[in-house]
Structure 1
């Protein structure tokens, strides 16, 4: 072969090429970012529009539906979702994964702009932006104080601590949760306002006119010019009390005469707790593409520096470290890779019994792994679980080519050839077969890399990494290995019977193996004499494998112990912040005695859509070696405790799961009548309650919010000369409060000035009736009129939100799964849906994990088919035959029984990882068959050997490399197979599927492939005879 011959003749040239790969690989490794998973960009765009004061029904009718219809026309749209809440419409447009998110966002902007004129007046400008599902906080900090007031602590956090972390390189943003900012509170006294004859608008206008710094022009003096301005803004908070807001009968009216002015804090609407104690939380987000692990390390250093600068009694702590799982997973995968490499090299040493041959063979491993970093860096990949797992699984593959080449060279050395001749001839003899086996592996992983859907995005880096590493191993096997074999003479090859110590024991092992290979010669002959029986055995194995496979349960991804989980909860629909906090304290009390819990971090009202009824409890567990229970057992016990807490609905969720934090089981009911949808959802929920393992059931829109509604008497309002918007404007200021201006503090930062009626005057609807608003007096002025004379108050209920999907209303029944695979849960849902009798015009569909699983399994089936086709084409090209590849392809179905049997034995499901293992098997199991059939053809064509003798000799000769490569692959995957370490439960099914498939396919291949080869050869000869007979007849 050209490469091997060139490397043998020019050893320095070969060495330089390999060193270049290693140097480039090391430099590339240093540039790789570190992440838990590949950074996948989902083409999802949101349109958020605010309509102050509008009910969910109004928001749906006037905003959500119109925007949905517009954006649904954009090319590439997969789904359109909308959520209509009070005052806010959120429309989410999900595009097909192949669409570019920036182009999609631009198209959505254009469509929304085209209908902007049809949307109601009074709305705020729609905010259109890309959604980043990877934008989870990398860290959460908690600041606590033993003596500082809430206001002072909030000011300290906002002005110093928060800004300090915002300036850290790599930080995208920092969100503050909890605390109460400083606020100038102007609490109006309706009685005094009425006595003086002032309306709330008069007060607001008066404050705004007085609280301003206005330029007045310029003063020119001699040759100089000076700007002139008036500083009307108070420089002290107490100066607001003396601010003149109006005049009556020539008398100035100070603000203190009609309102209570105080320098206080904003209304409490958010809360953070650490182990149940008040705190101010800081959620830190990284910039896109940043290195998560390095950023958290930097944050820890900044925490240590900031702590030294804080006042006594103030502490800052890291309560949530998003890099822990990443560190542990990457560390364990790296350990797996190293251990797998060591085990693989030991297998080689056991068979070759020479440390020089082992080094020549084993040097392929580090070179291939290091070189893989080149393509990872060049293609913008990261160092993550998928790429490292790819290299870990490929350990056995990377050394396979070197094993086969070196073993063949050693065999020729034992036949008496010198090192130069043995290296040249041994590499050339096996070169085509090695090339074909490597290409069959590449042919399997390339379709994996280019699968569609979510799974394709996550496995892209996996497939590319393996394919490139395997190609590098082929290159090393054809360059460095023959060069070293020709130059570095191995005297141990000729020490048969003279070895000592462990070498002597290994020599005895190899003698035993040689005798076993002689018995294998007899077994091949016996199989050739009973070909139909052997084929019957193969068929029975395949049928058994399919039967076992069909009994396996299915899931999207195997669960694994992350050492942390979170609980999202909702209190009663009418609960206040204080009531929600009370419920949360009851939860913390219920779980306090679990020794496995390290600490808790609670937030209430956090996030853009969070209310005082919404909360999130993050639970960090102790290290695995410090607790007796795994995460899932603890979650089950926590769930049992929380079911005893009244006034609370909750859901236990994974932290940072792929695709968001929604529950795994989501059943969507679609139709137009909201009341009927609620009935159907309630019936479905009751059916699912009966199923063991389906837990945390919840229904959207299950509980409406009680509310008071003011109905405007149109006739009275018309006669009074007032509009609904006038009433809304006045009431929103008096009841809801409005930040009408700002006050500059001593640091130059803005402090809101908020106008509102005192809290004790807005506790019930009757008090609202006495509030007065300004109306025209018919004489060019205004007068005050009680609100009760224009409106009436009724009690009602309203949905918290209205959800829609693909232009139709939707209610979702969601649930968590406790030891029930998603595939089994889907079967339960399908059975339950038949019992609830969906009426015409109403439909039921699954989303979330079930939808992702069905879609991904379909794409993986396509990838499996492509892999099989590509392998066949490569084999046909190698053997220059369309028939002979079928002898090798028969080894593919023989792996099913081992793969399915192993998954059944270990209790694993058919999931993304195990299916990737099945696809890998399509390339791995052909390697052994290629070595056997290729050498049989060489013996027949080169040496003119009889077919039976050629097949038997080929099996006998290739048994050693076949067993070596198989054991190398199995032992290389053994650390993954054992599922030891962080996140190993997720990765293990892939290794288990491969190991099980390799075991059965290797055993059966050694007998079935020789038989199938002879059968196909007979069939080919029969066809030729038939063809020649027809030609002769003509």
Structure 2
């Protein structure tokens, strides 16, 4: 079989070169398309269902949210495991799918089942799906460098401007905000005054909700013009909250400021974000979408941040806290340097021991061709170019070089023996493969004088 392949290749050299060139071009194309990341993604193929019910204890969350969801999501097809976690005010359900299941197909199946499970949950409790990222999807962390700006103003800038702009970048699944204070109007009720004016707490809550709203009226025409009647009632200042009517006392309207004090404050926090011990900061975490190219996503996010920078207030800028592209670029540069070094060393060794440039050229062609073919297989099996896969290729270069040196040296020696026999006037021997001969010294060699 080996003899037939060698004979076929020798008779069709142009075809062999054409196939090699085609594989090399295909490998370069696959190398450009193959996702690049620093670390391999070994996380489970999972979908996360997140439910928030503010103020409830973990036991209540477990009994009324987590258990009904886990019980009804067990019928989702191709699910191999379901895990539920309950904590104060929050519930997490992790659905682990088979490895060959498409992630977005799995998310659509979970959404279908959630529509049915919604009726089993308490009123105003709505489960949502987590981002379509993975456990290694945090590719970029940034903070806002805003000296002298209030933490509440920084968080508002992050939530209502920066976050929305970065979420439009292709390949970004989510931008999670952290740090600072989430602004809110805080109404501190006085129970003594509520009792004096005989106003229940529920009436105050209903009045505040009803007065923070825009309402629409009808359309009427006047002098060939159409006018739309609207009621503008959204809260714009603390005074708007203070002047909301919550009831009457002896035919006199009672307003919020009569029974409570109103102030602008921050939502309750479970922790703070500190940068290098220099104080609190506000920023965001960029989560990459499943299966995307981390290097391209990070570059696109940085380009978008340069555009967003133009719209930030004076003195506010971005500060990168974590950037995975640095590790990615260093890993790729290390592999490229290793490849060039090995090609150079192998060429020098072959030239020194064989003193034959065509033999060295064969090995130099063999190494890059084998490497680009490896990228074809990486793309076919959906494996990214990461530290593990690139290191495997670098280690395999040694095996490729060893095979090339053994074969080239063996062919070179047999050709030298054949030329010596021809010069001595001995009859030519039948050509066989060196691997088929029982003894390398007794194996016949080809009379072809060159490699």
Q: Which range, TM-score by smaller chain?
A: 0.7 to 0.9
Q: In the alignment, is the contact (CA less than 8 A) between 1:105 and 1:130 conserved in 2?
A: no
Aligned counterparts of 1:365 and 1:350: Cα–Cα separation in 2: 19
Conservation of the 8 A alpha-carbon contact between 1:409 and 1:427: no
> What is the CA deviation profile of residues 452-510 of structure 1, one whole-angstrom value per residue up to 9, with x for unaligned ones?
xxxxxxxxxxxxxxxxxxxxxxxxxxxxxxxxxxxxxxxxxxxxxxxxxxxxxxxxxxx
2:298 to 281, 296, 299: 296
Report SS of the residue matched to 2:292: coil
Pairs within 5 Å for 1:188-267: 188-221=189-222, 224-267=225-268
Quote the residue 2:367 is aligned against: 365
DSSP 3-state at the match of 1:147:
coil
Shift, 1:141, TM fit: 1.0
Using the alignment, how far apart are the partners of 1:281 and 1:114 within structure 2? 37
Distance 2:440 2:8 in 1: 31
**1:451-490 → structure 2 map (5 Å cutoff):** none
Matched, 1:387 2:389: yes
1:158 CA drift (Å): 3.1
The answer to whether structure 1 residue 174 and structure 2 residue 175 are counterparts is yes
Looking at structure 1, the residues matched to 203 and 140 of structure 2 have their Cα atoms a distance apart, in angstroms, of 47
| Contact residue 179 and residue 270 of structure 1 kept, 8 A | no
Q: Distance in 1 between matches of 2:304 and 2:121?
A: 48
Give distance in 1, aligned partners of 2:251 and 2:80: 67
* Residues 148 and 199 of structure 1: CA distance in aligned 2, closer, same or farther (over 3 Å): same
**How far, CA to CA, are the matches of 1:88 and 1:198 in structure 2?**
33
Aligned-partner Cα distance in 2 for 1:279–1:408: 67
When residues 368 and 59 of structure 1 are mapped into structure 2, their CA distance, relative to the original with a 3 A threshold, is same
TM-score by length of 2: 0.80
Is 1:334 matched with 2:336?
yes
In structure 2, relative to structure 1, the CA distance for the partners of 1:340 and 1:82 (3 Å cut) is same
Please name the residue that 2:47 is paired with: 45
Is residue 188–residue 259 contact of structure 1 (8 Å, CA) maintained in 2? yes
Query: SS of the counterpart of 1:394?
Result: helix
In the TM superposition, residue 202 of structure 1 has moved relative to its aligned partner by 1.5
Q: Residue 413 of structure 2: which of 403, 411, 433 is its match? A: 411
CA distance in 2: counterparts of 1:251 and 1:366, whole angstroms: 89
Q: Measure the CA separation in 1 of the matches of 2:66 and 2:160.
A: 38
More helix by percentage: 1
Match of 2:437 among 916, 935, 954: 935
Alignment of 1:422-437 (within 5 A): 429-430=432-433
The SS at the match of 2:274 is strand
Distance 1:315 1:263, change over 3 A: same
The root-mean-square deviation of aligned C-alpha atoms, in Å, is: 3.6
Q: By how many angstroms is 1:75 displaced?
A: 6.4
User: Displacement of 1:149 after TM fit?
Assistant: 2.2
Of 137-146 and 376-385, the range deviating more from structure 2? 376-385
Q: Is the 8 A contact 2:133 2:173 kept in 1?
A: no
Name 2:324's counterpart in structure 1: 322
Residue number among 35, 53, 56 corresponding to 1:33 in the alignment: 35
Cα distance change, pair 77–299 in 1 and its aligned pair in 2 (3 A):
closer
Please tell me whether the aligned partners of residues 50 and 123 of structure 1 are also in contact (alpha carbons under 8 angstroms): no
Residues 147 and 313 in structure 1, CA contact (< 8 A), matched pair in contact too: no
Matches within 5 A, 1:489-504: none
Per-residue CA distance 1:289-322 (angstroms, 9 max, x = gap): 3322233344445556655765454443111122
Looking at structure 2, the residues matched to 146 and 128 of structure 1 have their Cα atoms a distance apart, in angstroms, of 36
Q: 1:217–1:303: structure 2 CA closer, same or farther, 3 Å change rule?
A: closer
Residue of 352, 366, 374 corresponding to 2:354:
352
Name the SS of the counterpart of 1:204 in structure 2: helix
Query: Does 1:89 find its partner at 2:91?
Result: yes
Shift of 1:138: 0.9
Q: Distance in 2 between matches of 1:189 and 1:36?
A: 57
Q: 2:280 aligns with which of 278, 281, 284?
A: 278
On the 8 A contact 2:131/2:173 being kept in 1, the answer is: no
Q: Does 1 or 2 have the higher relative contact order (CA < 8 Å, sep 6+)?
A: 2
Deviation at 1:279, TM superposition (A): 0.9
Aligned-pair CA distance for 1:228: 2.0
Shift of 1:246: 2.2
How far is 1:365 from its partner?
1.2
Alignment gaps of 5+ in structure 2 = 421-427, 444-451
Instruction: Provide the secondary structure at the position in 1 that maps to 2:185.
Output: strand
Deviation at 1:196, TM superposition (A): 1.0
1:380, CA displacement in angstroms?
4.3
After superposition, the Cα gap between the structure-2 partners of 1:427 and 1:380, relative to the gap in structure 1 and judged at 3 Å, is farther
Alignment of 1:787-802 (within 5 A): none
1:686-736 Cα shifts (integer Å, max 9, x gaps): xxxxxxxxxxxxxxxxxxxxxxxxxxxxxxxxxxxxxxxxxxxxxxxxxxx
Give the structure 2 partner of residue 818 of structure 1. Answer: none
Rate the CA distance shift 1:410–1:259 in 2: closer, same or farther, 3 A: same
Partner of 1:369, secondary structure, is helix
Alpha-carbon distance between aligned partners in 2 of 1:403 and 1:281, rounded to the nearest angstrom: 55
1:303-346 CA-to-partner distances (Å, cap 9, x unmatched) read 56655765454443111122333333333233333333333444
Q: How does 1:518-667 map to 2 (within 5 A)?
A: none
Name the structure 2 match of 1:57: 59
Q: Which residue of 2 aligns with 1:149?
A: 150
Residue 112 of structure 1 and its aligned partner are, at CA, apart by 6.2
Q: CA shift at 1:272, angstroms?
A: 1.4
Q: Is the 8 A contact 1:42 1:101 kept in 2?
A: no
Q: Which has the larger radius of gyration?
A: 1
Distance 1:293 1:244, change over 3 A: same
Q: Is 1:158 aligned to residue 165 of structure 2?
A: no
> Structure 2 vs 1, CA of residues 325 and 128 (structure 1 numbering), >3 Å: closer, same or farther?
same
- Find the counterpart in structure 2 of residue 287 from structure 1: 289
Q: Is the 8 A contact 1:307 1:315 kept in 2?
A: yes
Distance 2:304 2:239 in 1: 37
Secondary structure of 1:360's aligned partner: helix
Cα distance, 1:73–1:315 mapped onto 2, change above 3 Å: closer
1:411 offset after TM fit, Å?
3.0
| 1:1000 aligned partner | none
Contact residue 412 and residue 426 of structure 1 kept, 8 A: no
Q: Which residue of 2 aligns with 1:675?
A: none
Distance 1:100 1:380 in 2: 12
1:887-916 alpha-carbon deviations (Å, 9 max, x no partner) = xxxxxxxxxxxxxxxxxxxxxxxxxxxxxx
Deviation at 1:144, TM superposition (A): 3.3
Deviation at 1:367, TM superposition (A): 2.0
Give the conservation status (yes or no) of the 8 Å contact 1:188–1:260: yes
CA distance in 2, matches of 1:315, 1:130: 27
